[in-house]
Amino acid sequence: MFMKIIKQENLDISEIVEALKNGATIVYPTETCYGLGCDASNKEAVDKIFAIKKRQAHKSVLVVVPEVSMIIPFISWTPTLQNIADKYWPGALTVVVKVKDKNIFPAGVVNEDGTMAFRVTEHPLAAEISQKLNSPLVSTSANIVSMNSPYDIESVLQMFESEEIKPDIIIDAGTLPTRSPSTVIKVVDERIEILRQGEVIVEK
């Protein structure tokens, strides 16, 4: 199996969206590092993301959306979430919240405890792909577990070249600026718990 590499300047978004609808996995630039993604509603594609990363099944992956309105139908929207949206999005802040229905997305997107993690991305390409796909886009760092998050295409290619299960398409956006991973918070009953401190500092 080989990985198709497309320079970002030669990208046809509609082709990428069509591939995602058919279950493809992609490596693409985000506001942090290169992300590994697929259509968050496609169970086979989500399962393949876990196989590519060699990630434990109980460690769910986050998704990105272009705007809050895409995620609102699936979760209980609260004043605290509205406040977070107004202050920090779009941006590198990921929020873990309860979903209304555990079966709304595949296992791996929805955690065993009935939560999912999402953020409104500030990266124009990730936002456009999700918008045209009309579905949240899985956005986990494009590295095999225990390896470093990649910020350039050479690192991605080296990591996967000898692996049996690889991403299908790699979008080459050159070397990305090195930024911390997104800050991750959990919101339960209007309480905010910081799970991972990244670049964004959240006022509790």
Sign of CA dihedral 179, 21, 24, 16: negative
Distance CA 107, CA 154 (A): 31
At the topology level, CATH places domain 4-196 in DHBP synthase (3.90.870)
8-33 residue pLDDT tens? 999 999 999 999 999 999 999 999 99
59-96 residue pLDDT tens? 999 999 999 999 999 998 999 999 999 999 999 999 99
159-202 residue pLDDT tens? 999 999 999 999 999 999 998 889 999 998 889 999 999 989 99
